Structure 1
Amino acid sequence: MSPARIIASLAAGLLVVAGLGYVASQTVLAPPSYVVSDQQYVDAPAPAARAGREVAPGEPVGPQRVAPQWVSDTAARAGIPAPAVRAYANAQLAEPRGCDVGWTTLAGIGWVESQHGTIDGRTLGDDGHSSTPILGPALDGRRFAAIPATPETSAWHGDPRWDHAVGPLQFIPSTWETWGADGDGDGTADPNDLDDAAYAAVRYLCADGHDLTSGAGWAEAIFSYNHAQSYVDSVYAAAKAYADRTA
């Protein structure tokens, strides 16, 4: 494994990985060895309704609503579309008790996977959907692992034969079947909806008990999302940039 692949610069890493999370997820590499020591975590402010709410450890708090003014101010400072900031912050506020996923971590993933749903000139609507759906290439075994589609998974991407990664956070349908969630409370869990995808990402990152407030735990959790050191590096660089802009 070349050093260039292990230690990718932010610019190169984002260009290679952005929108291509499904590519790295098909590559089995050693777990990350470095420890994140710099700030990459910023809290979203909890709404008053959350105060004093008793939730058992490991159980999700459930859908929350971050203050619109905070979303607007933070989006301007971070350079992220406001619907994306809202999605990441609400997902963080709904995280299981005992798991700390900063909204900036979700923003780092969102940038690397699809530039917050705006990749290739798309726009992100207030409903959390990109102007056109974001689909990865067919997982047909030619360049990536072969994952045959089922009638259920085909409904997300339209390919009756092979699965594709779907949506702004590039969930493989089989992963979505396990971790998919209704993040905005509209009654539908849709990987094309960034509100839902962000909440699903929190559930996934928290599932293995990683301590995301520690450098090693954070790196391991991101590696579990996508098995490539370059991916961890790129998400960290983006998350830290957003933290620096908004802390």
Structure 2
Amino acid sequence: MLGLALVGTAWWLGRDTPAPAPEAGTSAPGGVVPPASDPAPIVPAGRPVVPVVDAAWTAQVAEATGIPPVAVNAYAVAELRLRTEAPSCSMGWSTLAGIGWVESHHGSIHGSILGLDGRAEPPIVGPALDGTGGFAAIPSDPLLAAWHGDPTWDHAVGPLQFISSTWDRWRSDGDGDGVMDPNDLDDAAYAAARYLCHDGHDLATGEGWAEAVFSYNHDDAYVASVYAAASGYAASAG
């Protein structure tokens, strides 16, 4: 399971029996789509143009779902960017929110606090991927060793728990600050959205959604847990 793509171990979560994942021919989780504010912000040359999500929408969804506004905004921005970059993917903010819940409770697991900059404090670091406890053995890589501090074994890092190989390929600047940081939920959400959309799945269909999330973590129970969370958020948001 570990080391295949984004790490989705949910190693810290005690789950109730998950809701079933969507079957072929059924609908994928969906919800209110976030509106972008106009005009687009002015950004320095060479920086991506990051959509500005309507603040009233963010506040409404945060209140309805219990997701921190910073996290709601990160997931919504990722959706808006993928609407342009991969429109056939049908990426939705609630899917990213479901993943964010399962991976780290939106950056708040184990007493961490998600700051206004999208970074959890203390940073969220998964266990050593040393081949024990059912984990794959993945040697450390200098890229993420700087984030997790272990020169021997890799660890998943950040609110969406990236491992080195995946972050090396999909690392992204989600908030246009010129930095690509897996500990920044803005960057991690955009990278996760790009990953989920890279293989041509249509996330508007139940089958396509399930296959995309399964590629994120090769575990049926994980897919079911994300589906339960994503569907709940979409329903709460109206």
How would you bin the TM-score normalised by the shorter chain? 0.7 to 0.9
Residue 202 (structure 1) shift: 0.6
**Number of aligned residue pairs:** 212
Please list every run of 5 or more consecutive structure 2 residues that lacks an aligned counterpart in the other structure: 1-7, 14-20, 41-47
Mapping of residues 1-247 of structure 1, within 5 Å = 18=10, 34-35=23-24, 37-38=26-27, 40-42=29-31, 43-49=33-39, 63-95=50-82, 96-98=85-87, 99-143=89-133, 144-247=135-238
Residue 152 (structure 1) shift: 2.6
Q: Deviations 1:48-72 (Å, cap 9, x if unpaired)? A: 347xxxxxxxxxx952120122111
Measure the CA separation in 1 of the matches of 2:195 and 2:92: 14
In structure 2, relative to structure 1, the CA distance for the partners of 1:179 and 1:166 (3 Å cut) is same
Residue 73 (structure 1) shift: 1.4
State the TM-score, normalizing by the size of structure 2: 0.83
Q: In angstroms, what is the RMSD of aligned CA positions?
A: 2.1
* SS of the residue 2:114 aligns to: coil
The runs of at least 4 aligned residues of structure 1 exceeding 4 Å deviation read: none
State the TM-score, normalizing by the size of structure 1: 0.80
Q: Deviations 1:60-115 (Å, cap 9, x if unpaired)? A: x9521201221111100111111000100001101123221110000000000000
Residue 176 (structure 1) shift: 0.3
Q: Percent identity?
A: 57
In structure 2, relative to structure 1, the CA distance for the partners of 1:213 and 1:62 (3 Å cut) is farther
Letter in structure 2 aligned against 1:157 = H
